Amino acid sequence: MSKPTAPEHHPGADPRAAAPQTVERYCEDLVVALRMRDVSGRRIGEILAEIRDHLRTSGEDPAEAFGTPQQYAADLTADVPAPSRASKLARWVGFTACAVGIAWTDDSGRALLTGGLATLTEADLIIPAVVGAAITQAFDASAAKRRGAARGWVAVAVAVFVGLLVVQSLLGPLVSVDVPALALFIPGLLLIAGAIAYTVRSADPVVDPLQDPATTRAKRRRDRVLLTLLWLPLLAAIALLIAASPSMS
């Protein structure tokens, strides 16, 4: 991975020209931009060390020295293939599988408590698929600083969700199949666990090039714990959306 030639150092420049919070905010945005281009945590650590060293000696504003985080990330990865559609599809499949798992465990869990059968409708697949696609697209757009596009994808998801509720309230479920509760509950749990495990195992923390291996391993363990905890509000949000569907309540 090639790196554009950094501006010449100016040892005599005022090191206070770039406020620490400005540098850190720039680095945080750059990390996100590089992550979206599948740059490894170790390489990102090296890039951040180079940026901080240059700004510390030159006193320049990071945007003036390197361009916007998105532009600089594009320059740094100019000779690297862009993330494939397969990787984006994998993200969508992961989010959708998790949403399907929540839909199935939500419906079948209540059926287990009442001793009845679980009911599968078209909403059990359509709503999770829409939610998964919206989360994927909104995440990509937000990371690329395209907040309008991110809001647009969320609006599309809400419109489809509300439209499906209206259709079901007027016509009822178009497809309704009764199945044993355990036949949905166990696969649902497995889908959720698989999505979480895949995310946690893919933890790739940003590593300082001078950091010792023990510290790196500890940071990776910490990131895996944080990733697991970050799933909780997402699971709760998807569960609330799914539970709002009349066919599942």
Distance from C-alpha of 191 to C-alpha of 189, rounded to nearest angstrom: 5
Same domain, 53 and 94: no
Note the pLDDT tens digit of each residue in 165-213. Answer: 787 778 777 788 898 988 888 898 888 888 777 777 666 767 777 666 6
Same domain, 205 and 240: yes
Owning domain of residue 102: 85-248
What is the mean predicted confidence (pLDDT) over 208-224?
68
Given 76, 105, 123, which residue is the final one in a domain?
76
Q: Domain check: are 195 and 102 in the same one? A: yes
Number of independent structural domains in the chain: 2
pLDDT of residue 34: 85
66 and 95 in a single domain? The answer is no
Q: Does the pLDDT value for residue 49 go beyond 70?
A: yes
> What's the pLDDT tens digit per position in 71-121?
898 888 887 666 566 767 777 787 788 878 887 887 788 788 788 888 888
227 has a pLDDT exceeding 70: no
Q: For 27-36, what is each residue's pLDDT tens digit? A: 888 888 887 7
Q: Round to whole Å and give the CA distance between 186 and 30.
A: 41
Regarding whether 27 and 137 lie in a shared domain, the answer is no
Residue 144 carries which DSSP code? T
Q: Cβ-count burial of 212 within 10 angstroms (0-12 exposed, 13-18 middle, 19+ buried)?
A: exposed
pLDDT digits (tens, 9 = 90+) for 135-148: 777 766 665 556 67
Where is the domain boundary, 43, 76, 109? 76
pTM of the model: 0.54
Q: Which pLDDT belongs to residue 13?
A: 47
Average pLDDT over residues 152-175: 76
Percent pLDDT > 70 in the chain is 69
Does residue 26 contact residue 67 with C-beta atoms inside 8 Å? no
pLDDT at 63 over 80: yes
Long-range contacts of 87-91, Cβ-Cβ distance < 8 Å, separation of 24 or more: 87/38, 88/136, 88/140, 91/136, 91/139
Residues 239 and 174 in one domain: yes
